[in-house]
Amino acid sequence: MVRGRDRRGWGALAVCGVLLTGCTDGGDSDGDGTGGAEGARPNATGVTVAEPGKAKESSEPLDEMDPERQPETAEQARALIGKVIAGPDLFTPEVRRATPYESDPSRWAVLGENCTWRREPLPRDVLGTLTRYFEVPARGGRGEVRLTATVTVHHTVTAAAWEQAGMLEEAVGCGEQTLTAGARLTGLTSLATKWGEGNNGFSDDSLMETGKCVSEEHGGPYPYWWSQATYGPVVASTSVCGGEGYDLKALQEIVQEALPRMLLRVQDEVGRPAEGKSGSASPSASKEGE
């Protein structure tokens, strides 16, 4: 099995900081807006994110991807990633940049046959990718929490869908994965939801994986949560590895808004209003107004 993406969670940070060169620092982008719904938490962009364990129902279709706005070059992909990838502002206030803050954008991680992650150059079907690393510092009797946000832009929608499909196989074939020497994920299980199912009201296709993270440096096992979603040719994900004193619900509350808010940014950049969506005109209405 060989699957590509950046190493999820704290293992990615360890690899970037210890084994690889070329990691960079970069700026953030900010979101703004209002919104909310009963039984869910509103966030700063108007995307309603269900509380952990609670389903969210969406009554409006997603924006349709506009092929004319789809990145076609590596330069365009990097520009899109810079606009949509999360900074600390998309998490809860205690989240800070980690060091290093950004991955080497010329490489991504591949899960090999031995269930061990390794870094390789980008394949042909990937125009660009970037991972940012974050932390919640240890304090108040609680340990450090480590987080990531990743955005990958593929040449085609089909290539993004294939990446998404491959993720589901990982937990089946590799329930325990080695991130670096002395760092691993264990007890991994995964779940997929289409738009409108569960709490997925923001993506064409959404995946979630849970398990435990453990390392010689930070201890554990601690709760681990990873989520990934697609919109057109773009695949975005977030992950969180807990620390002493954190349960899974507490970790979800830290990270849960970042992914839907990144996907909303992607829709704003490469989408167009779907027919029948509030505020969008029907084809006939457009003709009448010409």
Q: Examine residue 35 and state whether it is found in any structural domain, yes or no.
A: no
pLDDT at 30: 39
Q: Examine residue 17 and state whether it is found in any structural domain, yes or no.
A: no
Q: Examine residue 41 and state whether it is found in any structural domain, yes or no.
A: no
For residues 109 and 135, which has the higher predicted lDDT (pLDDT)?
135
**Domain that includes residue 111, residue range:** 3-10+73-272
pLDDT at 171: 61
Q: Examine residue 64 and state whether it is found in any structural domain, yes or no.
A: no
Q: What is the CATH number of the domain that holds 210?
A: 3.40.1000
Three-class SS of 194-245? ECCCCCCCCCCEEEEEEEEEEECCCEEEEEEEEEEEEECCEEEEEEEECCCC
Cα–Cα distance between 129 and 159 in angstroms, integer?
14
Please give the backbone phi and psi of residue 215, each rounded to the nearest 5 degrees, phi first: -150, 155
User: Burial level of 71, CB count in 10 A (0-12/13-18/19+)?
Assistant: buried
Structure tokens at 10: 């704290």
Report the range of poorest mean pLDDT among 65-69, 146-150, 165-169.
165-169
Whole-number mean pLDDT of the chain?
A: 75
Q: Examine residue 15 and state whether it is found in any structural domain, yes or no.
A: no
Q: Examine residue 172 and state whether it is found in any structural domain, yes or no.
A: yes
Label residue 283 by pLDDT band (50, 70, 90): very low
Q: What is the pLDDT of residues 180-200, one digit of tens each?
A: 888 999 999 887 655 555 555
Domain count, the chain: 1
Give 238's contacts (C-beta < 8 A, 6+ positions apart).
Answer: 86, 147, 148, 149, 150, 226, 227, 255, 258, 259, 262
Q: Examine residue 286 and state whether it is found in any structural domain, yes or no.
A: no
Q: What is the pLDDT of residues 155-169, one digit of tens each?
A: 999 998 888 777 766
Q: Examine residue 49 and state whether it is found in any structural domain, yes or no.
A: no
Would you call 187 helix, strand, or coil by DSSP? strand
Q: pLDDT exceeding 90 applies to what percent of the chain?
A: 48
Please give the backbone phi and psi of residue 264, each rounded to the nearest 5 degrees, phi first: -65, -40
pLDDT surpasses 50 at 287: no
22 contacts 106 by C-beta, under 8 angstroms: yes
Neighbours of 30 (CB within 10 A): 9
pLDDT surpasses 90 at 23: no
Cα–Cα distance between 40 and 37 in angstroms, integer?
6
For the range 60-63, what are the long-range contacts, defined as Cβ-Cβ under 8 Å and sequence gap of 24 or more? 60/274, 60/277, 60/278, 61/274, 61/275, 61/276, 61/277, 62/195, 62/202, 62/203, 62/204, 62/231, 62/267, 62/271, 62/274, 63/267, 63/271, 63/272, 63/273, 63/274, 63/277
91 contacts 134 by C-beta, under 8 angstroms: yes
Q: Is the dihedral of CA 236, 41, 196, 61 positive or negative?
A: negative
Helices (H), the chain: 10-18, 74-84, 157-173, 248-255, 258-270, 283-288
60 contacts 69 by C-beta, under 8 angstroms: no
Q: What angle do CA 56, 190, 31 make, to 5 degrees?
A: 45
